[in-house]
Structure 1
């Protein structure tokens, strides 16, 4: 039997690079979408070990009409990771809503119209579409897959963070609404990770061009933070575990029509700083000390039983994630 081919959108991204690698390692052929020839070269370079299994399709603007019509032809499945993670947008509609919602629905439309062979589409959503941002820390509350962010369009337009949370929520809703309304041949599964950390696998020119979550940890090793920041999301996912979750959600029949919370554990920036100071003593001048060993603040938790039991996912501990991530960030510093 010939190897299956999966399309991975936004293949040059932080999460997508690990997703591409996870599929290539399992013997799949991967077609990645990128915005330009230059990015296409970077993606080929990142995965040079699997040159025979990897091809690239250029999609300059995923919110454009018919953006994915060509890219979806001849593939067996689609992994849609491309969606903006921007917490400081100014034009919410143009920077967040349109690419997130239109980008998602246009790939579903293209698959239904041009490729009846697509069996499963896995969409990278976010804990942003599960969390109720009006409830704050919510100590004692346990979020499950049945929870949806109740954000309204009016609230979405109130500030950049709310706009980001809304873009993920509306885009994920659009996936399930599309399937309900159009009854395509394919089934869908969505994955909802919180903050995503772990080593960098994609091509990054320098520290200035880091993605949001890598920049989030980089500030704890480069001396720019003098004190331990407040923790804004109370759970993280390791990017490698999340990549593995995409493969499993694509392969497992029981993932059809499901959404999964993908989270390794709760964490705090204090714990991250403790790990960095302990494991990288040479960085300790640059990493804020704070209150070493302080317990986690009382806050909501995420129930990841479903991903563990249905997908068979195992999660790495925070220390492994942070050590591997810091090692990859330090390479960029030199």
Structure 2
């Protein structure tokens, strides 16, 4: 796709932390984008944040209002006339009343609605990229699993019945697993016009966009902010000890869109523990050192490994290390603090 002029991509959930970086990457690569958002006010916010990339050509970024991604027919109009789809929109919740009603089914339907809409109303689409998660790869029942290395060949083995009564974090991981499986099952059963790729990042950190609010941080950014604002007294156990830089995850989506293969991609910069994050914050922000937990207050443990070789080779991505990822993340958090 050397000439991307007029090539329109539907980006769902365009205001999200990862999606905002995907949007920036798409615009920089020359694509036109139709983003889905829940309201016109959110569309205005996203448009303003990315205005520096539009250079007076506001028509390169348009929006479709989709209040509920899991509702029947949610994307039927949004997919019309687009050339490709990058689907990031997904319900996120950990504490719910009913796992199946509030978590599992919304996650599955949020994915199946977009691919069914493309299959029915956008036969011209040849490629869909879906944001999945390392949660669909990880076997949560085995914990830290030292000595094992996860790859794209692994699948979270939890059953649907187990997930219905599981604790919140386990059920959330299961929801990502079932949503991704539903996408692959659809492709196998329907043999649609499009090919599919899924991006499976673990914890996603990195710099925030300028429109972010320190009072309303996304989950992963709040995970870092608690280690620099004095609210955490020790690093704590690292439940998901693998990370990815949001800029690499964004680039992986665009590269996967341009790649012909149907594949899963484990996009990760490697392993980490919260004590490593604390050490980096102390180095990068010495003025915050007194608020940062003592790294040694939490013991280092042996954990599983993660292999990014497939994504690195096939998509041509050199993944950022933890120092750059966390350093840029905390500097952006300081900038948000200073803006109030």
TM-score by structure 2 length? 0.94
2:112 paired with 1:109: no
Picking from 28, 32, 48, the partner of 1:29 is 32
Q: Distance in 1 between matches of 2:148 and 2:312?
A: 20
Q: Distance in 1 between matches of 2:278 and 2:50?
A: 32
2:221 paired with 1:214: yes
Is the Cα contact below 8 Å between 1:144 and 1:261 reproduced in 2? yes
Structure 2 residue aligned with 1:237: 244
Is the Cα contact below 8 Å between 1:279 and 1:323 reproduced in 2? yes
Picking from 305, 316, 322, the partner of 1:318 is 322
Q: Distance in 2 between matches of 1:84 and 1:141?
A: 30
Structure 2 residue aligned with 1:300: 304
Is the Cα contact below 8 Å between 1:85 and 1:212 reproduced in 2? no
Which structure 2 residues correspond to residues 91-102 of structure 1 after superposition, within 5 A?
A: 91-102=98-109
Which structure 2 residues correspond to residues 57-96 of structure 1 after superposition, within 5 A?
A: 57-96=64-103
Q: Distance in 2 between matches of 1:291 and 1:207?
A: 28
Picking from 173, 189, 194, the partner of 1:165 is 173
Structure 2 residue aligned with 1:46: 49
Picking from 293, 301, 309, the partner of 1:288 is 293
Q: What are structure 2's unaligned runs of at least 5 residues? A: none
Q: Distance in 2 between matches of 1:202 and 1:153?
A: 39
1:207 Cα deviation (Å)? Answer: 2.3
Q: Distance in 2 between matches of 1:313 and 1:323?
A: 20
1:303 Cα deviation (Å)? Answer: 1.0
Q: Which runs of 4+ in 1 moved over 3 A?
A: none
Is the Cα contact below 8 Å between 2:69 and 2:90 reproduced in 1? no
1:297 Cα deviation (Å)? Answer: 2.4
2:268 paired with 1:263: yes
Q: What are structure 1's unaligned runs of at least 5 residues? A: none
2:202 paired with 1:194: yes
Which structure 2 residues correspond to residues 3-14 of structure 1 after superposition, within 5 A?
A: 3-14=6-17
1:296 Cα deviation (Å)? Answer: 5.2
| Count of paired positions | 330
1:95 Cα deviation (Å)? Answer: 3.3
Structure 2 residue aligned with 1:179: 187
Is the Cα contact below 8 Å between 2:270 and 2:307 reproduced in 1? no
2:336 paired with 1:332: yes
RMSD (Å), alpha carbons: 1.5
